[in-house]
């Protein structure tokens, strides 16, 4: 049994209404009914009540060109043809009232007529299968072969592979976005992948400030650049990626580097300087190690972000720039706030989006793909193919994924390790010899350097060998004693403070002497502190 064809379409209040010489003009609905290559058994013509006269006239012409078509007029209660909600809800009710039977009938939505809103709603309802059919698009004649009255015509099947291809292209684009952020490394760590998904969403949709935290070498700087690349890919950014490490901004030049200066505003200011904030106009400003930014610069930056304008050094004309701020830090900014070196209002401004990058030791399942990635990077750079011997690879992977391996420098450590092994590998093969040596090197480098702990900082007054001779148990005490000595006017002052409890039980209060003897054990003298 062949199926019948039913078309649903709006009355074209302009194109269908042509009166003069109408049999020599293209009218969408009449054109569709005149086709010999497409037989319509049933046509539902939708219109608003106020166009009833026109609808009757058009329907009569439809019947004339296509006597085999049953033409039915449907008045939809649309009162605002440009209002989405109004049109959609009426069309929705209408579709629901239809008794469709796709086994007997092919349905088609004619989307050439009606307001844009009507066309879009018709498309949406067809695409979502509220009407299980295809779309028909008609147009004026395109070539010599097409008759004037009939015009051109195409059927769009939303289920066709063409649509699948579109869908898979969207999918691919999405994958590409995450690929960009991950540098094409196939990572498995669930937390990291969720983080990347969130970053992708934010990077594409928002230009609010982003704060990237995480340990050194976890990839903060690289991620900032990738966000820019992603936005560029999406044509979401016009300006440049401007990057500065705040730890390098010192002294007078800090202000002018960031905010610019006016020629002659200080000695050495030979010409106007726009400053990095203005260079980032329309783009992204990446302030790495933002925790190191000085107090004045923080205050000025806060104003610049809040007001979008500021005064360059030596100028009384404000300048403007609109950029997205990405800040990076491996410090705990809250700690900096509590010790008074970072402004809490600035933190509140820059952490709309905070992303904490995990260190490599928290992503053990990603070490293997990263080893492959580093190897292929090395191969690309050196032009020589480098591979691990089987046992060598297993040994290195076992060590790398051992919870004892801290990967203190994170990707930087992994990158250097692979570079070193690849460079030393004879004939492009990394053997167990190279791996064993590398494991020793890494283990040595991860030993906690004594001076790292600032509370126990003894390096200012003792040599490393000297410190190593002191029991870890005694180090904090010595560090505390040194700290008190430094802040005291005299040795007896320091002694009074340090022995404040026990001195009360002594007959002779020789605090200074006690302190001198204590310091002498470490070859230290009060005067040197």
Ligand X SMILES: Nc1ncnc2c1ncn2[C@@H]1O[C@H](COP(=O)(O)OP(=O)(O)OP(=O)(O)O)[C@@H](O)[C@H]1O
| Residues near Mg ion (CB under 5 A) | 220-221, 288
Backbone angles phi, psi at 360, to 5 degrees: -65, -35
Residue closest to 31 by CA, chosen among 19, 23, 42:
23
Backbone angles phi, psi at 238, to 5 degrees: -105, -35
Q: Give CA–CA dist 174/196, Å, rounded.
A: 12
Compute CA distances 156 → 159, 162, 399, 413, whole Å.
9, 10, 58, 55
354 lies in the binding site for ligand X (CB under 6 A):
no
Please, what is the minimum distance in Å from the beta carbon of residue 92 to ligand X? 47
Which of 105, 178, 193, 221: binder of ligand X (CB under 6 A)? 221
Q: Where are the alpha helices (DSSP H) in 389-431?
A: 390-400, 411-424
Please, what is the minimum distance in Å from the beta carbon of residue 255 to ligand X? 23
Burial of 160 (0-12, 13-18, 19+ CB in 10 A): exposed
Q: Which does 89 bind (CB under 5 to 8 A by kind): ligand X, Mg ion, none?
A: none
Burial of 381 (0-12, 13-18, 19+ CB in 10 A): exposed
189 lies in the binding site for ligand X (CB under 6 A):
no
Beta bridge partners of 73: 45
- 3-state secondary structure (DSSP) of residue 383: coil
Contacts of 441 (CB under 8 A, 6+ apart): 417, 420
Q: Which does 183 bind (CB under 5 to 8 A by kind): Mg ion, ligand X, none?
A: ligand X
Q: Which helix (H) or strand (E) holds 193?
A: helix 190-205
Please, what is the minimum distance in Å from the beta carbon of residue 241 to Mg ion? 14
359 lies in the binding site for ligand X (CB under 6 A):
no
Q: Give CA–CA dist 506/514, Å, rounded.
A: 12
Backbone angles phi, psi at 192, to 5 degrees: -65, -40
Nearer of residues 347 and 408 to ligand X, judged by Cβ: 408
415 lies in the binding site for ligand X (CB under 6 A):
yes
240 lies in the binding site for ligand X (CB under 6 A):
no
Compute CA distances 115 → 93, 157, 244, whole Å.
18, 22, 52
Compute CA distances 306 → 241, 323, 346, whole Å.
20, 12, 10
Q: Which stretch binds ligand X (CB under 6 A): 310-318, 408-416, 466-474, 510-518?
A: 408-416
Q: Which does 262 bind (CB under 5 to 8 A by kind): Mg ion, ligand X, none?
A: none
Compute CA distances 94 → 47, 76, 81, 97, 99, whole Å.
12, 8, 15, 5, 10
213 lies in the binding site for ligand X (CB under 6 A):
no
Binding mask 55-94 for ligand X (x = CB under 6 A): ----------------------------------------
Nearer of residues 13 and 370 to ligand X, judged by Cβ: 370
Which of 4, 105, 178, 216: binder of ligand X (CB under 6 A)? 216
Closest-by-Cβ residue to ligand X is: 219
Give the tokens for residue 7: 């078309």
Number of residues forming the site for ligand X (CB under 6 A): 17
Q: Which stretch binds ligand X (CB under 6 A): 209-217, 232-240, 333-341, 491-499?
A: 209-217
218 lies in the binding site for ligand X (CB under 6 A):
yes
Which of 185, 188, 247, 437: binder of ligand X (CB under 6 A)? 185
State whether the Cα torsion 40-42-47-52 is positive or negative: positive
133 lies in the binding site for ligand X (CB under 6 A):
no
Q: Which does 330 bind (CB under 5 to 8 A by kind): ligand X, Mg ion, none?
A: ligand X
Please, what is the minimum distance in Å from the beta carbon of residue 288 to ligand X? 6
Q: What is the dihedral of CA 376, 378, 383, 384, to 10 degrees?
A: -80
Helices (H) and strands (E) in the chain, counts: 20, 15
Using DSSP bridges, classify how beta strands 152-156 and 133-139 pair: parallel, antiparallel or unpaired.
antiparallel
Q: Which does 229 bind (CB under 5 to 8 A by kind): ligand X, Mg ion, none?
A: none
Q: Which stretch binds ligand X (CB under 6 A): 75-83, 120-128, 215-223, 520-528?
A: 215-223
Binding mask 286-325 for ligand X (x = CB under 6 A): --x-------------------------------------
Q: Which does 216 bind (CB under 5 to 8 A by kind): ligand X, Mg ion, none?
A: ligand X
126 lies in the binding site for ligand X (CB under 6 A):
no
Alpha carbon 475 to its chain centroid, in Å, reads 45
Place of tokens 């705990």: 332
Q: Which does 415 bind (CB under 5 to 8 A by kind): Mg ion, ligand X, none?
A: ligand X
Please, what is the minimum distance in Å from the beta carbon of residue 218 to Mg ion? 9
Contacts of 61 (CB under 8 A, 6+ apart): 22, 27, 30
Which of 370, 400, 406, 488: binder of ligand X (CB under 6 A)? 370
Q: Which stretch binds ligand X (CB under 6 A): 64-72, 131-139, 409-417, 516-524?
A: 409-417
Closest-by-Cβ residue to Mg ion is: 221
Please, what is the minimum distance in Å from the beta carbon of residue 285 to Mg ion? 14
Please, what is the minimum distance in Å from the beta carbon of residue 410 to ligand X? 7
Q: Which stretch binds ligand X (CB under 6 A): 5-13, 218-226, 485-493, 507-515?
A: 218-226
Give, as ranges, the residues between 253 and 292 that touch ligand X (CB under 6 A): 288
Residues at the contact surface with ligand X, assessed by CB under 6 A: 183, 185, 214, 216-222, 288, 328, 330, 370, 411-412, 415
């Amino acid at each position: 049994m062949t199926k019948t064809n039913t078309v649903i379409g709006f009355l074209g209040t302009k194109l269908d209404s042509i009166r003069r010489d109408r049999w020599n003009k293209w009218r969408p609905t009449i054109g569709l009914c005149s086709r010999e290559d497409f037989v319509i058994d049933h046509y539902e013509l939708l219109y608003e009540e106020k166009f009833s006269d026109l609808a009757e006239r058009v329907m009569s012409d439809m019947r004339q060109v296509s006597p085999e078509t049953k033409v039915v007029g449907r008045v939809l209660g649309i009162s605002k043809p440009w209002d989405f909600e109004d049109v959609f809800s009426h069309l929705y009710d209408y579709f629901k009232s239809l008794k469709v039977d796709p086994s007997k009938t092919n349905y088609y939505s004619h989307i050439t007529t009606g307001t844009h809103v009507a066309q879009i709603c018709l498309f949406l309802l067809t695409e979502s299968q509220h009407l299980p059919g295809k779309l028909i698009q008609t147009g004026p004649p395109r070539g010599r072969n097409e008759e004037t009255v009939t015009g051109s015509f195409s059927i769009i099947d939303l289920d066709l592979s063409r649509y699948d291809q579109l869908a898979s292209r969207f999918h691919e684009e999405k994958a590409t976005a995450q690929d960009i952020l991950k540098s094409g490394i196939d990572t498995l760590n669930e937390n990291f992948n969720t983080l990347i998904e969130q970053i992708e969403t934010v990077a594409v949709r928002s230009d609010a400030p982003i704060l990237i935290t995480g340990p050194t070498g976890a990839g903060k700087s690289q991620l900032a650049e990738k966000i820019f690349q992603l936005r560029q890919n999406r044509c979401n950014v016009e300006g440049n990626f401007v990057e500065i490490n705040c730890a390098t901004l010192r002294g007078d030049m800090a202000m002018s580097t960031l905010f610019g200066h006016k020629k002659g505003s200080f000695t050495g200011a030979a010409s106007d300087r726009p400053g990095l904030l203005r260079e980032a106009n329309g783009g992204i400003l990446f302030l790495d190690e933002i925790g190191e930014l000085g107090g004045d610069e923080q205050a000025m930056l806060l104003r610049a972000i809040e007001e979008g304008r500021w005064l360059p050094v030596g100028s009384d004309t404000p300048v403007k720039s609109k950029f997205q701020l990405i800040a990076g830090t491996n410090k705990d900014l809250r700690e900096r706030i509590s010790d008074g070196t970072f402004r809490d209002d600035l933190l509140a401004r820059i952490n709309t989006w905070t992303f904490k990058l995990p260190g490599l030791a928290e992503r053990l399942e990603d070490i293997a793909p990263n080893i492959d990635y580093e190897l292929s990077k090395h191969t690309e750079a050196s032009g020589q193919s480098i591979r691990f011997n089987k046992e060598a690879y297993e040994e290195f992977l076992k060590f790398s994924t051992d919870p004892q391996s801290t990967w203190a420098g994170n990707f930087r450590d992994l990158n250097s390790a692979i570079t070193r092994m690849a460079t030393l590998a004879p004939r492009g093969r990394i053997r167990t010899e190279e791996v064993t040596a590398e494991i020793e090197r890494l283990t040595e480098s991860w030993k906690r350097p004594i001076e790292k702990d600032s509370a126990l900082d003894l390096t200012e007054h003792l040599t490393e060998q000297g410190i190593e001779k002191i029991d870890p148990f005694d180090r904090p005490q010595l560090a505390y004693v040194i700290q008190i000595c430094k802040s005291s006017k005299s040795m007896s002052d320091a002694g009074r403070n340090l022995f404040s409890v026990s001195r009360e039980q002594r007959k002779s209060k020789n605090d200074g002497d006690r302190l001198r003897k204590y310091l002498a054990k470490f070859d230290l003298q009060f005067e040197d502190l």
